[in-house]
Amino acid sequence: MRTYLGYITIFLLVPVLTLFIFLSYQEWSSAQSPYRVLDERIPIDSIELAQTSYMTAANGKVISELSDGGKRTYLKLEDIPLFLENLFIVSEDQKFYEHGGVDLSGISRALLINSQHDAIEQGGSTITQQLARNVYLNHDRTYNRKLSELLYAYQLERKKSKSEIMELYLNAIYFSNGAYGIEAASQLYFSKPTQALSKAELAFLAAIPNNPQHYNPLEHFAATKKRQERLLKQMVAEGELERNEYDGLIKSTIRLNLSTTVELYPDYVTYVHQELKNLVASSEGLSKPLQSSDEAVRQQAEAELGKKVEKLLHSGVTIHTALDTKLQTQSKTALQANIGVNDIEGAIVVIQHHTHELVSLIGGKDYKKNSFNRAYQSYRQPGSAIKPLLDYAPYLEETGADINQLVSGASYCSNSYCPRNYSGDSYGMVTLRTAFAQSYNTPAIRLFEKTGIKKSFSYLDAFDFKKITMKDHHISSSIGGFEYGMSPLELTNAYTSFEDGNYQPARAIMKVTDKDGKILYSWKDKSREVWSENTVSKMRKLLHEVTMTGTGRKAYFPTAYIGGKTGTTNDVKDMWFVGQTANYTTGVWIGKDRPANLQAIYARSPHMLIWKDISQTAEQ
């Protein structure tokens, strides 16, 4: 009864509002044009409906749907079946192409029809009013909201064509269960595009928006089907459907084929979200403000970046990534198989070093989306895995030494700092090749000292090690003793420089395109030369020797090229293997989130077995 009284009140208020506008026109004219007032108060030149964005793997497969509480895929009116448009006109607004936004006779007709049914079969609102409500207002049943709805509807009719209004309406209305717009509903309930739906299926979906809760097909299928049949009967009554076709449509079986939200490869997807922020910041000139020492400047930049990313993801973009789904699956399987069901964790990074594409990233053995991602958020001591970058390559670059040159492997002490080789032995004079392959500590320190601390660290400036500071400029860093260390992603990235001497950060995101395929964002990275060709050649031989005769023998398999470096920290709290094959640079880290001794698994060398498993798959 309250609903009917509300309609009657609105029915009476409309002419009063019209009369008020007419009587006030002269006074408005002397001040401002009424249209100008409306345009200032109710600007609706542009309507942008939030749409679902997608993330795809390198093969084009969707790996994540990005939506904020609901799904929507926008369709042009020409891509929506005319039969569906007519269904809504017949059931919701028969004078849609005649009225100016408000239909007084429609309100009267709704009162009459609703009085004959238990549920509200028709609302007095026009399609234009419903669009205004869905886009600008809410669904509160108050007179203020209803009057606002009338003004918005009037503005919509002034600013938009009937076709534009219908297109927006069919993309805006709610179809229950988080589906907004006809295409999202079609995909949700039938797992196919709108254009592939039968007339019976179109009518079934058209039954939902009238009352999305009452006609929720997952909970009230029979009620939805009953309303579908009433809609089709209305189509017959209005001459939009032949009786014999109607008989066939109501007998047509409706079989729901529900789709589920796509959420695959959470480790990688979580990282892509972070990289997207970095990409937008870089492209929009926000990178420097985000790193400002002024907190107010940083906060302002963060707020601006947040708005830009949110707007981007609401616009229906596609984020194209370099993810190799086969490698990602293999990496996860290898990690889980080799470290078991205990508190030992791991992280894996795989980079296609010719293209600088991040093709796989594992943040933990049972990683959940948006949780702590060890591949890029965990900073750990690198152990001997830092020696190629900080000790050997800088020494070879500065001196041009041969890898068979001798260096002392004897005991070392400096100002009470007396590190030992892992075995505890003193080796006398050894070649660089042997010292590197066996990962002796004292020769590495001596090479580091000969190059000089400042000069050695200057080579690390080329890489993106975020937490290396001046506090790390000391002797113990030469064998991995950093204050914070580096992430698996950072260290693996740096090792790509041993492919051709150049460094360019690996990227997960290849490009971001709008719904029409136009590129909105892409990285504009430039490679930086770090090592000479001569140094690269020597380093590749040293890395290869590790896998042939040194500490990385368990990682070896026959292939065009293989090389790498192990890394173990004090008390075996971290185990690393980072290395290259012909096409890929892969890094594996094993440890506990709260650093603790891993001696129990050290002899099995799980980090090398994981690396070998992944690299063999990658090179097949």
**Contacts of residue 232, Cβ cutoff 8 Å, sequence gap at least 6:** 203, 241, 246, 249, 250
How far out from the chain centre does Cα 203 lie?
A: 35
318-321/53-56 β-pairing: parallel
Return the structure tokens found at 149.
């709805």
Q: From 276, 303, 274, 320, select the one nearest 466 (Cα to Cα).
A: 274
What is the C-alpha to C-alpha distance for residues 572 and 554, in angstroms, rounded to an integer? 18
Q: Of 319, 358, 322, whose CA–CA distance to 519 is shortest?
A: 319
Residue 103 phi/psi, 5-degree rounding, is -125, 100
Which amino acid, one-letter code, is at 199? K
Give me the phi and psi of 358, to 5 degrees please.
-85, 105
The SS3 call for residue 304 is helix
Q: How far is CA 341 from the centre of its chain?
A: 29
Number of H-type helices and E-type strands within the chain: 25, 14
Q: Which helix (H) or strand (E) holds 64?
A: strand 62-66
3-state secondary structure (DSSP) of residue 358: strand
Using only the alpha carbons of the chain, give its radius of gyration: 33
Q: At what angle do helices 82-92 and 162-172 cross, to 10 degrees?
A: 90
Spatial CB neighbours of 38, under 8 Å, sequence gap ≥ 6: 151, 154, 155, 158
Say what angle helices 143-159 and 127-135 make with each other, to 10 degrees: 110
| Cβ-proximal residues to 271 (8 Å cutoff; 6+ apart), any chain | 358, 361, 363, 373, 375, 376, 508
Q: Which is the catalytic residue, given 92, 167, 490, 545?
A: 92
The per-residue DSSP string of 107-167 comes to HHHHHHHHTTSSS----S--HHHHHHHHHTS-----HHHHHHHHHHHHHHHHHS-HHHHHH
Closest by alpha carbon to 232, among 211, 194, 203? 203
* Whether 92 is catalytic: yes
Can you list the alpha helix ranges (DSSP code H) found in 44-121? 82-92, 104-114
- First and final C-alpha spacing in the chain: 73
Which residue in 360, 384, 478, 615 is the catalytic one?
384
The answer to whether the CB of 432 falls within 8 A of the CB of 392 is: yes
Give the number of other CB atoms < 10 A from CB of residue 474: 13
β-bridge partners, 319: 55, 512
Token pair of 425, please? 């032995």
Catalytic residues: 92, 384
